[in-house]
């Protein structure tokens, strides 16, 4: 990745939405015995052997400037069992994550608790892994930083991140499904650093980008063949921003993008986002519900959308339909 997703390497609904298929990503291993993780043993504990683990109490890592839990093996199930891993430490010169899963591992499942603070709440760089039923709140940078292949985040809450809610970088086949990703400083979901073939579907993505005064609900800065589908995206700075070619935005509801005063945009394709397909979306209540930075929409396709206001560089907005 390019500086932990933060440097984007710029290049050219509701839970249970019926259209969202929650693909199970479960370690292929026996579920017993379950190994207890005792908070009294301190932070930076390492789950380095395949198996099923359960946290037995809250874990406070403030002042350690290190990770909460490290998962360094494949085929690990980690249940937080309703407990919280927390830290008030914020130092972007260090790697500080509540739960850290580095690359080279696969089939990791994390579920059922809260990560509060740290630089990044959950760092998931493995493959074929899943985060479900988690809350990531108050991260200094990213609520969840996702890389690798075929990972999934579902039925989770990501809020109060001081950069982006979920940052996807150097990744493919990532599925962000049926989450509440709201109230993050900059972008709810950020796709960057040559991330292709990822899906963001069936999420509630509200009130992002307000504190930073930029960006907003979902932004594709660098990546192709990504699908943004069937999300509810309301009251963000801007709704959906496309700054990379060859992506699909379909069947989303995007309302009330607030922008800077009266300049909020519901769905926007910049000049570098050519050959994007935007279809079947309902976009209302923004200064410009839809905007295209390519003269005459270029090779972009806007079809079957419901909207009131539109703008196109260099001419009529009639190409936006």
Residue 147 has pLDDT above 80, yes or no: yes
Segment 100-116 shows an average pLDDT of 97
Q: Give the neighbor-by-neighbor strand order of the sheet with 120-124.
A: 45-47, 69-71, 97-101, 120-124, 144-149, 166-172, 189-192, 216-220, 238-242, 265-269, 288-292, 310-312
Annotation: CATH topology of 34-319: Pectate Lyase C-like (2.160.20)
User: pTM (2 decimals)?
Assistant: 0.92
> What are the structural domain ranges in the chain?
34-319
Q: In what order do the strands lie in the sheet with 59-60?
A: 59-60, 84-87, 114-117, 135-137, 157-159, 180-182
pLDDT at 78 over 80: yes
Q: Which has the minimum average pLDDT: 13-17, 82-86, 266-270?
A: 13-17
**Predicted local distance difference test score (pLDDT) of residue 79:** 98
In this prediction, residue 314 has a pLDDT band, given cuts at 50, 70 and 90, of: confident
The three-class DSSP label of residue 40 is: helix
* CB neighbour class for 133 (10 Å; exposed up to 12, middle 13-18, buried from 19): middle
Provide the β-strand partners of residue 76: 51, 108
Bridge partners, residue 302, by sequence = 278
**pLDDT > 90: what percent of the chain?**
87
pLDDT value, residue 91 = 96
Average pLDDT, the chain: 91
Residue 59's alpha-carbon distances to 86, 137, 246, 263, in angstroms, are: 6, 15, 43, 43
Number of CB atoms found within 10 A of residue 107's CB: 20
């Amino acid at each position: 990745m390019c500086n932990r997703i933060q440097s984007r390497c710029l290049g050219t609904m509701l839970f249970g939405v019926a259209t969202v298929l929650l693909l199970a990503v479960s370690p292929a291993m026996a579920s017993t015995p379950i190994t207890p993780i005792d908070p009294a043993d301190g932070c930076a504990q390492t789950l380095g052997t395949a198996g099923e683990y359960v946290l037995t109490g809250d874990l406070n890592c403030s002042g350690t400037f290190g990770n909460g839990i490290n998962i360094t093996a494949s085929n690990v199930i980690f249940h937080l069992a309703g407990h919280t891993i927390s830290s008030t430490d914020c130092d972007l010169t260090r790697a500080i994550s509540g739960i850290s899963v580095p690359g080279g591992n696969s089939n990791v499942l994390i579920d059922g608790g809260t990560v509060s603070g740290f630089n990044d709440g959950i760092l998931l760089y493995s493959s074929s892994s899943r985060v479900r039923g988690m809350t990531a709140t108050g991260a200094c940078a990213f609520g969840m930083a996702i890389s690798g292949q075929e990972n999934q985040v579902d039925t989770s809450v990501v809020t109060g991140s001081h950069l982006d809610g979920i940052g996807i970088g150097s990744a493919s086949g990532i599925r962000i499904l049926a989450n509440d990703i709201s109230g993050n400083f900059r972008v709810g979901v950020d796709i960057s650093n040559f991330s292709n073939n990822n899906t963001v579907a069936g999420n509630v993505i509200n009130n992002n980008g307000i504190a930073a005064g930029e960006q907003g609900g979902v932004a594709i800065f660098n990546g192709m063949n990504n699908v943004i589908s069937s999300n509810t995206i309301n009251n963000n700075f801007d709704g959906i921003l496309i700054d990379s070619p060859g992506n699909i935005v379909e069947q989303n509801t995007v309302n009330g993008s607030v922008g800077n005063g009266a300049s909020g945009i519901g769905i926007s394709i910049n000049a570098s986002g050519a050959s994007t397909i935007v279809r079947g979306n309902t976009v209302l209540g923004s200064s410009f519900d839809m905007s295209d930075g390519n003269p005459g929409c270029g090779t972009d396709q806007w079809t079957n959308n419901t909207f009131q206001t539109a703008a196109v560089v260099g001419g009529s907005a009639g190409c936006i339909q």
